[in-house]
Amino acid sequence: MKLLKIHLRYHPPGIVLEYSQKGVVKKKDIDLLDLNCNSDIKEIANRLHHREALLTGDVREQLQCCLETLKKRTEHEGPTGKRYYIYKTLQTHVLPLTNVCFNKIGNKCLSGSYDRTCKIWDVESGKELKTLTGHQNVVYSVGFNFPACTRIITGSFDKTAKIWDPESGSCLTTLLGHTGEVVAAQFSSKGDFAATGSMDHLAKLFDAETGTEIHSYAGHTAEVIALQFDPNEGHRLITGSFDGTISLWDTRVNDRVSVLLGHEGEISNVQFNWDSSLVGSASLDGSAKLWDARSTACLATVASHTDEVLDICFDWAGQRVATSSSDNSARIYDVRADFRELAIMKGHREEVSKVCFSPAGGCLLTASADRSARVWNTTTGNCIQVLSGHQGEIFSCAFSYAGDAIITASKDNTCRIWR
């Protein structure tokens, strides 16, 4: 085995070792989820050096240098960090927008709309690159195959999902079989599978290349409105349903692996953390729960919100979880130890429908029905900035991977980019 290169992975912090073994080039990911501005780089380097045979004495200096860069990156953002200004208003959709997302580099973004299209935008110029047409009804869910971002998946109220080539804008395959609106669609981490969740109570697994249905996951007794593949292997899938339960599925078998019972109201969102050891769920019953993804035991129930919990999101390192609610607040909890509340963010005048962490974890972004999005300091809970200007409620929001851009989509038919 011979080390060839050390790659940096910023979010969540880690390094990737590229090495050759018997002439074959391989990669190994090492998570450094605890890395923060107070970390002792020498000590981490020593620890890695002891643990990793690939990291020999010769590369120690290089390793330290890499770790310093990573550390700087996590410091880069903070309470005194970046301010966002309206950069572009994208307004060619003739009807309200639904969901939005960035590609990994952050130079392109997607918007879904009631006008039955998904549009690809150039973030820099604000120009529309492609309009993906073909769906017969609302395009609800949009997404790239992360991290490659060479494909796009859309889920539509026309009961299908489609996979597109972002370069040509052509539809490569249509995922058929649902008898209800497709409201969740995602690629697996390796991009080989696509999963869909539908109002017909089913989730389905498809071959992303051919569009062939592999499994039809039956078990939920109401609409499947949220789903996610585990970010690592991409073999596990979680689904959240209006029946109040969360199901775990395996891409290799058709039967349900397990059911997470305990919520007393509809599930609004469900997420894995980075290493897929935890599952977080938000419910209209006013609580959020954290579950052990292996044993499926409920580890904690957080019930400090006074109204429906509408969204849940882990930070990129999987150490904190944020929730947002109809009670106009967002909250952050520690998931490493005792699940205590770390910060509470109050200021929105109406319900907070979406929440997400900045990739480095220093900021929280919230979208609200009060027509504003806000950026908050995750340590103090103070509002750093109000992103105002939309004429209608904001349905969705996202950070770019580099954390240098924000996208918001509104019922006012426009999409805004903030930098």
Binding site for another protein (CB under 8 A): 94-96, 98-99, 114-116, 137-138, 140, 157, 181, 183, 199, 222-223, 225, 242, 266, 268, 284, 308, 310, 326, 350-351, 353-354, 369, 392-393, 395-396, 411-413
Question: Which is closer to another protein, CB of 302 or CB of 369?
Answer: 369
Smallest separation, CB 395 to another protein (Å): 5
Question: Which is closer to another protein, CB of 16 or CB of 95?
Answer: 95
Smallest separation, CB 70 to another protein (Å): 35
Smallest separation, CB 97 to another protein (Å): 9
Smallest separation, CB 269 to another protein (Å): 8
Burial 139-158 (b: 16+ CB within 10 A, else e): bbbbbbbbeebebbbbbbbb
Question: Which is closer to another protein, CB of 315 or CB of 393?
Answer: 393
Question: Which is closer to another protein, CB of 141 or CB of 189?
Answer: 141
Question: Which is closer to another protein, CB of 69 or CB of 391?
Answer: 391
Across the beta sheet with 406-410, the strand order is 86-90, 415-418, 406-410, 394-399
Smallest separation, CB 307 to another protein (Å): 9
Smallest separation, CB 369 to another protein (Å): 4
Question: Which is closer to another protein, CB of 44 or CB of 367?
Answer: 367
Give the C-alpha separation, 6 to 18, whole Å.
Answer: 6
Cα Rg of the chain, angstroms: 21
